[in-house]
Amino acid sequence: MLCRSRALLFGPACAALAAAAPPNGAFLNDALAKARRHLAGLPDFVCTQTVERSERGPKESAFRLRDRLHLEVTSVNGQERFARADRPGAEDRELRFLVTRGVTTTGGFSAFLRQITKAGAAEFRFAAEATLDNRRARHYLFEVPEERSAYVISVPPHEGRVPFHGALYLDAETAEVLRLEVTADEIGPELGFERTRTTVQYRLTTVGPAQHWFAAEAETMVAAFDGAEFRNRAVLGDCRRYAAESKISFAGEEPAAAPKPGAPAPSKPGRLRKNLLVDITVDQDLDFATATADTALRATLAEPLQDGDQVIAPAGAKVTMRLLELARVAKPVDRYELVLRLESLEHNAAPLPLSAKLLNTGTAPGLIKQERRLMPAFQKKRADRFSLLARESNSEQTVLYWEARQPRVRKGFRMRWLTDSAE
């Protein structure tokens, strides 16, 4: 399930922003204008982001920590892109492609505030004076109807734009935004969720050489119709200005020779061309009872990695793979689902990034055969083995299914991948 905010275009400004009762109307309008200036003045930035994801069942009182994600988030022109903290800049993807299981949320650090401060997007009313973190604050309630909303909830294959409402807390003296609360509770039943609530805390934060009024923490709570609840707590840190790499060339430099037509582009230093076979053997047992998500796994090349006649790395070279996710699923069969990614190859004493798609695997006790067709053929003879419709692999990750009664990948498991690097 993915919750995210995205920008839409709104119509002409209306008088909704003046709806606050006197004497707070002028203060509110000044505060919203100030927030818009802050948002417009934010530099493109890169921050580390730690996300703790927890959940609890319908009859549970306490949340259980599901996992902890360590990410690097890049915001350019207000658009967020993500990478794993241990591979900064290596992925640069939307979060839904980077983390494919569980509840993920994006946009909370800026998109909600950008939307409600747009002229005519939200209807405000003054609620009360309040004290927040020992600061005198003014508390406003707001509503954003569906036709003006940019809040999208996606539970593939369903997706829907939803109205939302909430609360805005402003410093009574400086008119700075202190806290923003956003609640969506008019969600289509096909999405399976009863309500979501996001709370964002703001504070003065150093970004590069300057300080900016910044969203520093966000918490999202999601309640499902069956009573289950999910909680994501995200904290930003180590923020710095984002600067794209640039290259300057001078007249007289010789252009690189173009490859011959029809010939595959050779591997460049630090990069591998597509469709090279990476044949590996797992070097360690992976016990599902003790394994945790975001764990590195050791492997070695079972065969030399070659690009034509060029041997890039010999057999026995060290390979790093990562277990991204591990979950036990009871239906339709009791099984474990593993999400794996090939990460790097030891090359000339330095790690060479690998982006590859799983081609096939060897056999192993507990490995469940995956079918590529929707309706596997039936056989009269009953067998102990069974098949599942495969989730499509991609260059970011692959999914393996393992019987719960044999919860272990054993050392020596063979896997064959095809590189899928940039051209």
**Domain boundaries defined on the chain:** 2-241, 277-419
Q: 281 by DSSP, 3-state: which?
A: strand
How does DSSP assign 142-174, residue by residue?
EEE-GGG--EEEEETTEEEEE-EEEEEEEETTT
Question: What residues contact residue 276 under an 8 Å CB cut-off, 6+ apart?
Answer: 267, 305, 306, 307, 312, 418, 419
The Cα–Cα gap between 377 and 116 comes to 54
pLDDT score at 332: 64
Name beta bridge partners: 159.
154
**What band does 257 get if pLDDT is binned at 50, 70 and 90?**
very low
Amino acid letter at 121?
A
CA distance 338 to 375: 23
- What is the enclosing helix (H) or strand (E) of 34? helix 25-41
* Tokens encoding 402: 């393992």
Q: Which two tokens stand for residue 98?
A: 């980077």
Burial of 354 (C-beta count, 10 Å sphere; 0-12/13-18/19+): buried
Kindly report the length of the chain.
423
Q: Tell me what percent of the residues of the chain surpass a pLDDT of 90.
A: 24
Element housing 312 (H / E): strand 310-313
Alpha carbon 406 to chain centroid, angstroms: 30
Mean pLDDT across 90-109: 53
Q: What is the pLDDT of residues 157-214, one digit of tens each?
A: 677 888 999 999 999 999 999 999 999 999 888 888 899 999 999 988 777 667 778 7
According to the model, what pLDDT value does residue 77 have? Answer: 66
Rounded percentage of the chain residues whose pLDDT exceeds 70: 71
CA nearest neighbour of 239 among 198, 210, 199: 210
Single out the residue of 372, 405, 55, 81 nearest to residue 224, CA to CA: 55
Distance CA 383, CA 37 (A): 67
Q: What is the pLDDT of residues 329-381, one digit of tens each?
A: 876 678 888 888 888 888 776 788 888 888 888 888 888 865 433 333 333 44
Distance of CA 319 to the CA centre of its chain: 25
Q: pLDDT digits over 367-417, tens only? A: 886 543 333 333 344 333 333 333 444 456 788 888 889 999 999 999 988
Q: Which CATH number does 2-241 carry? A: 2.50.20
Q: What is the CA radius of gyration of the chain?
A: 26
